[in-house]
Amino acid sequence: MQWVALLRGINVGGKNMVKMDALRAAFEEMGFADVATYIASGNVLFRAPRQQSAKLAARIESALTKRFGIELRVVVMTEAQLRTVVDGAPRGFGAKTERCDVVFLRKPLTAKKAFAAVETREGVDRAWEGKGVVYFSRVAAKASTSRLPKIAVKPEYQNMTIRSWSTTRKLLGLLDERAEG
């Protein structure tokens, strides 16, 4: 079955640098098949037998931490779970006048707890609780005043990884293409 791994905090601001070819090789060495990466922010598509996402994530985190010498955290989802995230987006999410992100959550963090930690600015930000995610949008013209960056100082942030709405949809599209191929 197809999976996507979303690594947290690599290749951001010159920190935790991981080359995508090395990341692909690490996944292949773990025995995963049909491994591919998408952009340098740590998105890995791969095939593996059906299993519990939490156990798979723990295995990947352990192997990557050993390999790269950085404590890495990862959110692992099946193709079906990612489709639920995309299909479950609030109506109008992704409008051209907004910048939209999906905050993916790593267990034990729940959507309810993550949503409570997210701050919004009236007239700029909006947030919605989803299944295993928080959807966040901000008015593009006022994005510099958004409160989304404030999440980085909260303890919950350690169990989050954020992807733009366009990256989230692209990952699902890539999984679809691989399923057809």
CA count, 13 A, side-chain hemisphere, 34: 15
Q: Are 164 and 41 in contact (CB under 8 A)?
A: no
In this structure, are strands 125-129 and 133-139 parallel, antiparallel, or unpaired?
A: antiparallel
The string of pLDDT tens digits covering residues 100-113 is: 999 999 999 999 99
| Letter string b/e over residues 134-173, b meaning 16 or more CB atoms within 10 A of that residue's CB | bbbbbbeeeeeebbbeebeeeebbebbbbbebebbbebbe
The Cα 115–Cα 23 span in angstroms is 31
The string of pLDDT tens digits covering residues 62-119 is: 999 999 998 899 999 999 999 999 999 999 999 999 999 999 999 999 999 999 999 9
Residue from 51, 68, 73, 69 nearest 5 by CA: 73
Spell out the domain ranges in the chain. Answer: 2-82, 88-164
Architecture of the 88-164 domain? 2-Layer Sandwich (3.30)
Q: Can you identify the CATH homologous superfamily of domain 2-82?
A: SP0830-like domains (3.30.70.1280)
pLDDT higher than threshold 90 for residue 11: no
Residues 6+ apart with CB under 8 A from 166: 94
CA count, 13 A, side-chain hemisphere, 140: 8
pTM recorded for the entire structure: 0.94
Residue 14: the pLDDT is 67
- Asked if domains 2-82 and 88-164 share a fold, the reply is yes
Residues 6+ apart with CB under 8 A from 30: 59, 60, 63
The three-class DSSP label of residue 78 is: strand
pLDDT higher than threshold 90 for residue 173: yes
